Structure 1
Amino acid sequence: MTSQTPKIIILYASYGDGHYQASKAVEASLRSRGVTDVTLLDLMAEAHPLINGITRFVYLQSFKTIPRLYGWVYNATKEMPQEAPLLEVINSLGAGKLQQTLRELRPDLIIHTFPQLAMPRLLKRTGQSLPLVNIVTDFDLHGRWIHPGVDRYYVATDDIKAEMMNRGIPEDRIRVSGIPVKPEFGRQSKTSEKSFPEPLQRLLSERPVGKPTVLLMAGAYGSMQGVREVIERLTALDRYRVITVCGRNRELYRGLQGQLRPHPDVHLIGYVKQVAELMRSSDCIVTKPGGITLSEALACQLPIFIYRPVPGQELNNARYLAQKGVACITRTPAELAQEIDALFGDESRLTELRQKIENLRRPQAAEVIADDILQQWFAPERAELVLT
C-alpha cells in the first residue's frame, strides 16, 4: 500500500441512525489507532439527494403503514444474486459521485456499513484495484451484502459466517467480529455523570432498591403503538421503574405527559445522547430490533424485549435473538408486561439468560474490525503509527 497514513472511506446510508452509528464506532477505533484520514460518506444523500429523500421517506413510512409489504419484498429478495437486473440498477446508483471521490481523496480502502455496492462495479469498469470491506449490521443476512468483489466481511455471528460460506464466500474472507458499537456501550466510558443534564444525573443516581428498571425505547420511527398501556400495566404491578425515551418525537412526549398520571416510578425523556448510560442503569430494554440497538443492548448485558417487530430484517433479527434465548418477542401490552414480570420473578431463568447474553455479546467489535483491517492491509504502516 502506501507509506503514508492510510486513507479510508466509510460508506453509509441515512435509512435510520444505525448505519451511521456503526460507521462512527469504526471511525473512532481507527482514529484511536493513529489512522487520522477517515472520511464518512452518505453516498445516496450526496449523489442523489432527491432519490435519497424519496426512498428514505418510503422506507420509514413502510414501517408504519405497509410493514407486511416491506417484509415480503425484503424476504423475497434475500437470495437474489448480484447479477440480477434489480441489483444491477440499485448498485449503479452513486457511481459518479464515487468516481469523483476516488479522484479527490485517493483512498487506500473502502468500508461499507450499508449494502449499496456501487464500488465493485466501478472498480471493474475502471480497472482500479482497491480493498473493499463490508460490515454486516444485522443478525440476518440479505443477498445485497454479498458480492464477489468484496475482500472482507465482518459479521455478527458464527451462524451468518456459515450462511455466507454456504453461499460461496471463502472462509478466509469472513471474520466474526460482532456489530460495531461505540465504546461506552462496552462499559468503557469514563464520562462523569456530573457533565450530564441535571434531570438525567438524578435519574441515573436514584435507582430504587428492589425495583428493576425497564428502559422503554418508544420514539424510533414514529412511536411505539400502545406505549401508554405498556407503562400503565407495568406501574400497576408496583414492582418496576419505567424510563421511556421518546427521542425526537415531541408529539409522543407531549401526549404521554398529558395522558399519564404523575407517578414516582414513571420517567419520560425526550432526545438524549447518553443512551449508553441509560442502558447501563437499566435492568432490561424494550426496543425495536435494529441490529445496532440490539448490539448495544447486548453489550450492556440487558435482557431484550421486542414489541411488535416489523417484518423484514428487524423481525428476522428478533427471531434470531429469541432463538438464542436472549430476547422475547411480544405483540400486545398485556403480553409484554406479563413476560417482563415472569422474567424478573424467576431468578434462575434470569441468571441463565444473562449467561446466554455473555456468550453472544461482542462489545469490542469496532476494535476487532479496526485491528484486523490494519493487520490485513496496512501492517508496515501500523507499526509506524504505533511507534509515533
Structure 2
Amino acid sequence: MNVKSPKIMILYASYGDGHYRASKAIEACFRSKGIHDVVLLDLMAESHPRLNEFTKFIYLTSFQALPFLYGWIYNATKDLRSESALLRAVNAIGTGTLKKAIRQHEPDLVIHTFPQLILPELSKRASLSLPMVNVITDFDVHARWLHSGVHRYYVATEDMKREMIERGVPAERILVSGIPLRPDFGRDEQPPADTGIGLTLNPGKKTILLMAGAYGVMQGNREICEALLAGGDYQILAVCGRNQELYQGLASDFGDHPDIHLFGFVDEVAEFMLASDCMITKPGGITLSEALACRLPLFLYRPVPGQELNNARYLEKKGIARIAADPVSLRAEIDALLQDGGQLSTVMANMENLRKPMAAEVIVNDILEQWFQSASRKPVTAQIGSAPPRLVIH
C-alpha cells in the first residue's frame, strides 16, 4: 500500500532568531527525506503585523531597559495551567489567520517551535482533528508550551522530561531529542587556519567568539573587548548581529586593532564556532545548543532574567557554562579555563552528556515513523468543519 507523504505546517515567531532557525532546520531535514510539502508560518507577523512589531520592540528593549520586569513576568507565569484565563487569551491571538492558513494548505501535522498554542482551542471549536507537536527551543519549561491537546513534545534534556512528567504530561508523549540545528553543526572537524570566513587567524593566540545575539542586544561588548585585548593573549571574533550601532561603535573603538575582527549578521555560525576556543554570548536556547554541538566552552554574560537566565543557570549547574557579571571576572574565568587543561577536559566531558547535534534528524524520523505507521492503517485529512480520523502519535 502506498502511503502519501504528509503535509507539514511549522508555526514560529520572529522574537530573536532562534525559533526561525529551529524551524528551518526541521524543514531542511524533511526536504532531505523527500518531504517537500512544508510551509513555515510566522503566525503573529501574519495575523497582527503592527502588534507583532510593537511586541518585538518591547521584547528587544527589555534586554536593555527592563530586564527584571520581563523576568518577573516570565517566572510569574511559568507554572500556569493551560486552562488559565491569561493563557487562553494569549493563545487566542491569530485564530482567524491560522484557520485561513489551514484551509489553504490543508496540513496533516502542525509543528510549533514557538509557544503560541492557538491550535488546541481551534481544534475544539472547529471540529478539527489535526495532530500537533511542540519543539521546545530552550533548556527551561514554561507553561506556555504545555497543553493537553499537544500530541508530542520534543525537548532538550532528560531533566526537562522529568519536570514535564511531574507537571502532568504523559511520559509517552515526550521524546528527548535535543534542539534542532542545521546539518553543518553535526560536523566534528576543526576548520584550517584559513577559516573560510574571510580571514586567517593567528595560530599562536586563543580565539574568543563574542556573539551579541541576532539583534546585538547583549550589553557590555566594548568593555568585554577592552578586557580581553589587554595583554595581547587573545584574538576576538566579534559578531554584532543586525545591530549597526554596535558594529559601528566597536569599529570606531577597535577598528585598527590587529586582534579583533568585526562582523555584522552572519550565516556561517558553525564555521565561527569551530574556529574558536570559547564563546561569550547571551544564552538563547539555539545558540547554546549550537555551541554544545561544536564542543565550544561557554561564558554567559549578564543573562537576562527569564528563560535565558534559567538556561544559563541550568548549563552552569551541569558544569558546562560559566556566568559572569562584569568584564574583569569574565576575563579571569576565561583565563582560568583556557590555561587549565584539567578544567577544560571536564567541561568537554560534561558537554558530551548534553550535546545532540542530530536533533532535527531525530525529530523528523520520529514524526515520519508515527505518520507512516498510522497513515498505513487509515487515511488522514484535516479540514475545518469536518472530523477526520486522528493521526495517533504515541
Query: How does the TM-score come out when normalised to structure 2?
Result: 0.91
1:115-164 CA-to-partner distances (Å, cap 9, x unmatched) read: 10000000111112111100000000001100000000000000000000
1:334 aligns with 2:328: yes
Alignment of structure 1 residues 226-375 onto 2, 5 Å: 226-260=220-254, 262-375=256-369
1:20-68 deviation per Cα after TM superposition (whole angstroms, max 9, x unaligned): 0000000011111111100000011111112212211111111111000
Aligned length: 376
- Find the residue that maps to 1:286 and give its secondary structure: strand
CA distance in 1, matches of 2:18, 2:337: 28
1:61 aligns with 2:51: no
Shift of 1:325: 0.6
Distance 2:220 2:146 in 1: 38
Structure 1 contact 10–23 (Cα < 8 Å) conserved: yes
Residue 220 of structure 1 deviates from its aligned partner by 4.0
Counterpart Cα distance in 1 of 2:41 and 2:195: 31
Provide, for residues 201-253 of structure 1, a one-character-per-residue CA deviation record: whole Å limited to 9, x for no partner: 3x2xx332342110001354444332222112212132211111112222111
Q: Does 1:180 align with 2:176?
A: no
Q: Which has the higher helix share?
A: 1
> Contact 2:6/2:371 (CA < 8 Å) preserved in 1?
no
Offset of 1:195 from its aligned partner? Answer: 11
Question: What is residue 386 of structure 1 aligned with on the other side?
Answer: none
Residue 111 of structure 1: CA displacement?
Answer: 0.2
CA distance 1:209–1:53, change in 2 (3 Å): closer
The percentage of counterpart residues that share the same residue type is 58
The one-letter code of the counterpart of 1:57 is F
- Select 1:211's aligned residue among 205, 208, 230: 205
Residue identity matched to 1:151: H
Aligned residue in 1 for 2:96: 96
Distance 1:85-1:186 versus aligned 2 partners, 3 A rule: same
Match of 1:150 in 2: 150
What is the TM-score with the length of structure 1 in the denominator? 0.92
Structure 2 stretches lacking a partner, 5+ long: 377-394
Structure 1 counterpart of 2:93, one-letter code: L
SS at match of 2:89: helix
Distance 2:194 2:333 in 1: 35
Distance 1:295 1:224 in 2: 18
Structure 1 residues without counterparts, runs of 5 or longer: 383-388
> Residues 77 and 350 of structure 1: is their aligned pair in 2 closer, same or farther, counting only changes over 3 Å?
same
- AA at the equivalent of 2:267: K
Alignment check: 8 A CA contact 1:216 1:242 kept: yes
SS at match of 1:225: coil
Match of 1:216, SS state, is strand
Q: Are the structure 2 counterparts of residues 146 and 2 from structure 1 closer, same or farther at C-alpha, using a change threshold of 3 Å?
A: farther
Q: What residue is the counterpart of 1:119 in the other structure?
A: 119
The alignment partner of 1:305 has SS state of: strand
CA gap of 1:82–1:381, structure 2 versus 1, over 3 A, is closer
The residue aligned with 1:75 is 75
Give, in whole Å, the separation in 1 of the partners of 2:160 and 2:170.
Answer: 13
CA separation in 1, counterparts of 2:76 and 2:338?
Answer: 39
Which amino acid is the alignment partner of residue 47 of structure 1? S
Counterpart Cα distance in 1 of 2:188 and 2:33? 16
Who is 2:170 aligned against?
170
Aligned mates of 1:129, 1:225 — CA distance in 2: 46
Paired residue type of 1:34: G
- Structure 1 segments, 4+ long, off by >3 Å, are 188-196, 219-224, 379-382
Displacement, 1:104? 1.4
| Counterpart residue type for residue 298 of structure 2 | I
Kindly state the Cα deviation for residue 192 of structure 1 after the two structures are TM-superposed: 11
Deviation of the 1:260 alpha carbon: 2.2
User: Is the 8 Å Cα contact of residues 219 and 249 (structure 1) preserved in structure 2?
Assistant: no
- Aligned counterpart, 2:29: 29
CA drift at 1:265: 1.7
| Residue type at the aligned position of 2:63 | F
> What is the rounded CA distance, in whole Å, between the counterparts of 2:195 and 2:258 in structure 1?
24
